[in-house]
A and B are shown apart, each in its own frame.
Chain A
Amino acid sequence: MKIARWSLFAALVLLLVLVFTTDGGGGASDFTRFLGRFHPSLVHLPIGILLLALLLEGLMRTPRFEAFATLTPMVWLAGAWSAILAAFAGLYLSQGGGYDPETLVWHKRLGVAVAVLAVAAYGLRNRSAGTQRLSWGYGALLASLFLGVTIGGHLGGTLTHGEGYLTRYMPDALRSVAGLPSKEDLGRLTLEDPENTPIYASLIQPIFDARCASCHNPNKKKGGLVLDSGEGLLEGGDDGDVLVAGRAAESEVIRRIWLPATHEDHMPPEGRPPLTVAEAELLRWWIDQGASFEQTLAEAEQTPAVKPILDGYGLDEIRTGIFALDVPPPDSAAVAALRALGLGVMPLAEQEPFLQVRCPSTGACLSPPQVEALRPLAPHIAWLDLGRTPVGDSALAVVSTLPHLTRLHLEQTAITDAALAYLDGLQYLEYLNLYGTRVSDEGLQHLSGLPALKALYLWQTGVTEAGVERLQQIHPHLDVNLGLTFAPPVTPAGDTSE
């Protein structure tokens, strides 16, 4: 036992000498680098063995596990040796460079402290063999050993995997307990203060860190390219520059990301998760804006392509149109009241606050009590289906009070041009079906103020080609369908609205 004790002590002294004489970085030879690479596998041994030793210390003081007292010194010895060897390897690994200096310093200090404490624990354990009670000094030693192992180990994980590794996928319920922002808010917090949000540091570098840095970092340098910092990005790689400021189309980094996934030059390579469309768009936008490292979000110009991405940053999906609005869920009593009056009401989708309303094919449509019942639900109605119902011009007045209407069916009803006046001001209307009605070119004038209109159906109406032409000049992207020309315009039986 004497040799064992003295050799352990000597090893610890050697470790401390090395720690205080080398200053980490420089003087690393290939051989020491090779040894250093064993640190990730070696370091788990002292973690496990020392925690086991702490457990045994606790257990052996209970009457049931007294027998463990004979085992404990050996475990402490193994723990101390493995801690020293792991610390040596860690020292050599740190000389290779490429680790965040602040975290490294603390990890190093804690690792060496653990080695010292482990030797001390072994030494004191031997001396106080047989004691049942835990003395205060020894207890303090064990407690600080525990803290050293856990905190030091956590910092080691941070060095390898980056900050936030543990909490990245934490469920929201635990996040609130831990005082962390919810996943949705994380993205929002980044962008809440555009004046102080540097685009590169907050938006762009995280993309490189998440998708590229596992192969393009100082330790791995695939293709001679380092992407974990701005300098590396500007320097480029073996094949030249990867970034041409202001011209994303000529930048190699953009070219490779946007190649088809099966192309051999595509980055990230097969097996690694590709960039999302939002991330790739953000990169392209940043480079086109001049690839500045200091520019803040407030200073940059948000192009139409990138605006929805920034608006929805941090959220799982990009929502456009009415779905990007923050509308509370509809009042279920109002919905029930509307249903009781005979209208078909259903949400657009399970979690959406928007509703689709349909008039039944028989019975009253948009009678005064129904209009009254629609009033509280006005901001929620997105689709309104009044096709083949007896509605007339006057009943359409309610449509002007529906701000979020996107689809309106009025086919084969008795409406005329006067009804179209009520549609003016519907910001989000995309689809309007007027086939089989008595609208004419005059009524089309009211449709010029609909910015979102995409599809207009005018078969069997009084609208002529000339009228459509005029409308297309105002709305070049509108798709107007006049139907097949041999169908004669409809002659309705009569206006049955009140």
Chain B
Amino acid sequence: MSIFEEARHEALRQVTRRHFLQTCTTGLGALALTSLTGCQPASLTPTAMPSLRDTADPLAARPPHFAPKARRVIYLHMAGAPSQLELFDYKPALARLDGALCPDSLLEGKRFAFIKGVPKMLGPQATFRQHGASGAWVSSHLPELSTVVDDIAFLKAMHTDEFNHAPAQLLVHTGSPRLGRPSMGSWVTYGLGSENANLPAFVVLLSGGEAPDAGASVYGSGFLPTVYQGVQCRSKGDPVLYLSDPDGLPRDLRRRSIETINRINQQQHEAVGDPEILTRIAQYEMAFRMQTSVPEAMDISREPDYIHALYGTEPGVTSFANNCLLARRLVERGVRFVQLFHWGWDSHGAGASEALNIGFLDRCKETDRATAALLKDLKQRGLLDETLVVWGGEFGRTPMLENRTGLDNPYVGRDHHSDAFTVWMAGGGVKGGTTHGETDDIGYFGISGRVHVHDLQATILHLLGFEHERLTYSFQGRDFRLTDVHGHVVHEILS
């Protein structure tokens, strides 16, 4: 037989019954064995396979893995890394070491962002007192927050792997220090959907003058469908850029044009079957609805005066207080994940705005009252039970003084420190009035109850009703999840 005849012969053989029964039944039997022994991997269930989902409405509300305590999250991220030694971590031993040279054992093998040579130790630049029935230590810089400590669970021995802003922010919000992964809010909306079809499910509010160092990736959707991306709303001017119709375009005409665009898209979808087209149709419709719902939600001038006094808000400007009030309004209306970024906590001491005795105090004043007001306001509306509030930075600050130039410096500051920092959580199933974790006498390293940022992410997902190992998305041939391959739920702070 020639080679062509042989090939044809082979091809014909494969359509015989004999071939099917001999060869294919083994595979069929193996498949049957899988289902018989109950060995199906979790990723074959519809909740994990995105193509089996209702792609016509990717933001449809979905139940989590188990009954949740929290249904929404407000994440207050203090970009720049606030100094835990001046806010929550009281270290009297450090005060006694103020001005002393840092011992070699703390510097051996460590790499700092800016500190070079042998720095001096810097004592706490605040006075601390215990507050509330739980006796939590809070510094004098946060007088308002001290009144609500009985609702807060402090994680004092947080640690992370990165010591610079952008990778550390990415690690906290996306689970990896490299770009390209979806943010926490995207994962949460991917898992839970949205309770309000007229508002975006994941809203981002920025304040402090600049965007966080990692840019829009900290609230991006990564490889998840773009419908789960964080929508940045602004508290000044148009709440969402290009939201309002251009001058002279009647609303009815807008509606008709969107309908027509969607009909064309629908035809394309029927021809090609790309699920992103359905996402695009849904987004056009949502954008149209948002045109009326978002301005109403974002308009804080409708709030009574005593609420403005409580938060310290000023309508018409961009401020953290305005954003907090907006966060409460959005959460009342069913927005799933509200992320606030407040920039400016990077207290290196290289200038007035970065000094622990000047700029840092300003940051505290800008945020203290509004944070406490947010907790109080959520609580009185009965929302704190179901809303998880998280406050924290991307890493902490060193117990050593950072003096970049080495010359006489009137400004005091600390360098980046990844081994110990403080994050607190409130509401949504968290046990209030507790402290978990402890750092050593000078606040350099956690000695008990160490919590990695992945553990924080796992705990947040747990409170929302997810087993963090099962909330996955298949991409590039493997299942990804927010906590990557790490993460243990911190059960000690759960009520």
Contact = CB atoms under 8 A, between A and B. Distances in A.
Interface string B49-69: 000000000000111111110
Number of chain B interface residues as a range = 20 to 34
B306 A487 contact: yes
B36 interface: yes
Contacts of B47: 350
A349 B65 contact: yes
Greatest chain A CB density within 10 A among B67, B195, B376 is at B67
B389 to A, nearest CB: 16
B382 A409 contact: yes
A98 interface: no
Nearest to B193: A346
Contact of A484 (B65, B67, B195, B380): B380
Contact of A349 (B61, B68, B304, B385): B68
A383 to B, nearest CB: 9
Given A349-B465, A350-B63, A481 B38 contact: no
Contacts of A457: 380-382
Contact of B38 (A172, A409, A486): A172
A411 interface: yes
A276 B376 CA distance: 37
B431 to A, nearest CB: 13
A259 to B, nearest CB: 13
Interface string A400-414: 000000000101000
B37 interface: yes
Given A350-B47, A409-B382, A174 B67 contact: no
Contact of A481 (B37, B66, B306, B382): B382
Nearest to B333: A361
Contacts of A481: 379-380, 382
A350 B64 contact: yes
B385 A455 contact: yes
B474 interface: no
A66 interface: no
A262 to B, nearest CB: 7
Contact of A459 (B67, B304, B310, B381): B381
Contacts, number: 69
Contacts of B67: 323, 348-349, 352, 354
A411 B382 contact: yes
B134 interface: no
Interface string B23-47: 0000000000000111100000001
Contact of B380 (A262, A323, A348, A483): A483
A166 B379 CA distance: 53
A344 B61 contact: yes
Contact of A171 (B38, B310, B376): B38
A358 B61 CA distance: 12
B70 to A, nearest CB: 13
A260 B66 contact: no
B381 A349 contact: no
Greatest chain A CB density within 10 A among B65, B66, B376, B380 is at B380
Contacts of A349: 63-68, 465
Contacts of A171: 37-39
Nearest to B47: A350
B442 to A, nearest CB: 20
Contacts of B382: 409, 411, 431, 433, 435, 455, 457, 481
A436 to B, nearest CB: 8
Contacts of B292: none
A484 B310 contact: yes
A269 interface: no
B375 to A, nearest CB: 12
A347 interface: yes
Interface in B378-401: 379-382, 385
B68 A411 contact: no
A435 B65 contact: no
A173 interface: yes
B448 interface: yes
Contacts of B304: 487
Interface in A407-462: 409, 411, 431, 433, 435, 455, 457, 459
B38 A459 contact: no
A173 B36 contact: yes
Contact of B376 (A174, A358, A409, A484): A484
A346 B310 contact: no
Nearest to A460: B380
A477 B47 CA distance: 39
A467 B417 CA distance: 51
A431 B386 CA distance: 10
Interface string A219-260: 000000000000000000000000000000000000000001
B381 A435 contact: yes
A233 to B, nearest CB: 30
A435 B380 contact: yes
Given A409-B382, A487-B306, A346 B376 contact: no
B381 A411 contact: yes
In the complex, the 6 A-B pairs of residues with the closest C-beta atoms, listed nearest first: A483-B380, A457-B382, A433-B382, A459-B380, A348-B67, A347-B63
Given A174-B37, A411-B381, A483-B380, 6 more contacts: A171-B37, A173-B36, A349-B63, A350-B66, A484-B376, A487-B304
20 contacts: A173-B36, A173-B37, A174-B37, A260-B448, A346-B63, A347-B63, A348-B63, A348-B68, A349-B63, A349-B66, A349-B68, A350-B47, A350-B63, A411-B381, A431-B382, A433-B381, A433-B382, A435-B380, A483-B379, A484-B310
